[in-house]
Amino acid sequence: MRKVYTFIIMMGFWILLSGKFDLFHLTLGVISSALVSFMSADLFMHETKGPGKLSVGIRFLLYLPWLLYQIGLSTLHVTFLALHPKMKDQIDPTIVTFKTKLKTDLAKVALANSITLTPGTITIRIVDQVFYVHAISRKAAAGLPGEMEDRLANVFERD
């Protein structure tokens, strides 16, 4: 089943990149997509449990606009800090650790990337369930796990 999904995605990508719809190019696309999906489907996606995958995808798409809003806030924050004349009075970097309640790997990756893209914080590393986060000011460090963890738990681990 993984091979079929890989074949569909690869074929869509081929059509998107080539942009030609005659028989010759489509045949080449089918041959190369079949070869790639036969050889390396297990690299592209892991074996997953069947039901509920589509709803997770839809809920993740609904999560994206909030993430874009956070990215906008974060970039404005960095811009304000970088152009501030007395920048060294404004920042106060610390490294904080906290323990998350998310279980699956995919949810932890999404949380790490979201932390990196929100104002003032960058994920340094994840050891099991403990996150090491570098925060650029005390105010950013105070509100850390915050709203985002609840939203991601709602996205990925709702039964």
Partner 1 sequence: MDIIVILLSVSGLVLFFATTVGLLRFPDFYSRMHAAGKGDTLSSLIMLLALVFYNFHEMNLANLLVAIKILLIGVFIFMASPTATHAIIDAGYESGIQPWTKKPEEES
Q: Which is nearer to partner 1, 32 or 113 (CB)?
A: 113
CB of 136 to partner 1, least distance (A): 6
Binding site for partner 1 (CB under 8 A): 16-17, 19, 71-72, 74-75, 78-79, 81-83, 87-88, 91-95, 112-113, 116-117, 120, 122-125, 132, 134, 136
Q: Which is nearer to partner 1, 39 or 62 (CB)?
A: 62
92/51 Cα distance (integer angstroms): 46
CB of 135 to partner 1, least distance (A): 10
Burial of 70 (0-12, 13-18, 19+ CB in 10 A): middle
27 to each of 20, 47, 69, 80, 83, how far by Cα in Å?
A: 11, 29, 43, 53, 55
CB of 117 to partner 1, least distance (A): 6
15/26 Cα distance (integer angstroms): 8
Q: Which is nearer to partner 1, 54 or 82 (CB)?
A: 82
CB of 84 to partner 1, least distance (A): 9
Q: Helix H segments across the chain?
A: 2-18, 23-44, 53-83, 87-90, 105-117, 138-142, 146-156
Q: Which is nearer to partner 1, 55 or 113 (CB)?
A: 113
